[in-house]
Amino acid sequence: MSSAPISWQVTAQVGEARAGILKTRRSTIETPVFMPVGTQGTVKGVRFEPLEDELDARIILGNTYHLWLRPGQEVIRDCGGLHRFIGWDRSILTDSGGFQVWSLTDLRKLNEDGVEFRSHVDGSLKFLSPEVSMEIQAALDSEIVMVFDECPPGKASKEFAKESLELTARWALRSRVRFDELQISNVDNQSAIGNRQSAIPLSGKQALFGIVQGASYLDLRKESLERTVEIGFDGYALGGLSVGEEKNVMYEVIENIAPLMPKDKPRYLMGVGTPEDLIESAARGIDMFDCVMPTRNGRTGQAFTSRGKLNIKNARYARDTRPLDENCYCSVCKRHTRAFLRHLYMTGEMLASILLTHHNLACFLDTMRGVRQAIRSGYFQKFRQEYIERLKSGVD
């Protein structure tokens, strides 16, 4: 029997909240985990050295759509794959490009075969399908590949959501077929990489995750889950959330669907969210998260803290000699004051975005470390309650 592309084990559980170990051919990842987003092959505003050393991120995301358009899959393949091209030796998860194409509503034409659209870069006509997405992600050589799906709006009608679900199910099967064909020829190239941090033998192949859709309709979500599990994947994701629906609706979907997802596979909530969202979703059984918020908000002057969001542009911080968060031990909070960070931001210094981004990533990753420790120690519910109460107290 051939070995698996990833290994996954739950090591502790409190209610639905799970702590576990996810191993790939490149890294050992403790879950629940937050994965920084590297859209263009880089996590915006931070070098890989602090991301590896101080922040200890074990896995990041790559964006299939953007990397396909620039520099192109051929360039990345010729440079030895995405890891070698960008200089990152730990794990990478690549999305399928489906969400980005969904966001190009006015520029795309969708049919059974795939999606035709105009590139936002140069206006050229492009076509993306399950097969093309799998081929691009094979060239990128990520550890975890996402199936190509169709993402309905959060407030889509049930009829629209049902049609989208059907299309996603058919595309998931096509993704699976093409993915498997590509892995046969790809595994020999991976064998040289080896499994550096795991005693469990891994195949060197890529893992493929299925995506559950269905908007806010629980019966459609359950149907999508059943059909996705029937195809069979290495992990399962909840897609199409945090796309316009109310937060309580998102939590309701997670609470009802996550516990039904296979218990022996990692569960991934795509594109969500704030530190509070991470904790609440982990409490409902989610293992993996990603979101652009820590980097995007850092570039616009907003810091995440243990007491909520802080807008560094606020004049009240002009003489504030405290760190961004007195409960944070990142290098930014150890060295710099709110007053200095505000000065950098107001004068347009690029260092402002770099430092705020670093702190925000530290906040998200440290929150996940706290969640994992609380689950392993059995006091997760207490940790969750105290964390939410601190957020409600607000930033002073």
Catalytic residues: 95, 290
Report the alpha-carbon distance of residue 135 to residue 150 in Å, rounded: 18
Residue of 366, 388, 382 whose CA lies nearest to 251: 388
For the chain, report the end-to-end CA distance as a whole number of angstroms: 59
Report the alpha-carbon distance of residue 10 to residue 12 in Å, rounded: 6
Q: Is 262 left (phi over 0), alpha (psi -120 to 50) or beta?
A: beta
Amino acid at 79: C
Report the alpha-carbon distance of residue 130 to residue 140 in Å, rounded: 15
Tokens of 75: 């360039």
> How would DSSP label each residue in 162-231?
HHHHHHHHHHHHHHHHHHHHHHHHHHHHHTTT--SS-SS---SPPEEEEEE--TT-HHHHHHHHHHHHHH
Angle between helices 130-140 and 158-190 (to 10 degrees): 40
Do residues 176 and 146 make contact, with C-beta atoms less than 8 angstroms apart? no
Report the alpha-carbon distance of residue 183 to residue 174 in Å, rounded: 14
Angle between helices 350-377 and 380-393 (to 10 degrees): 150
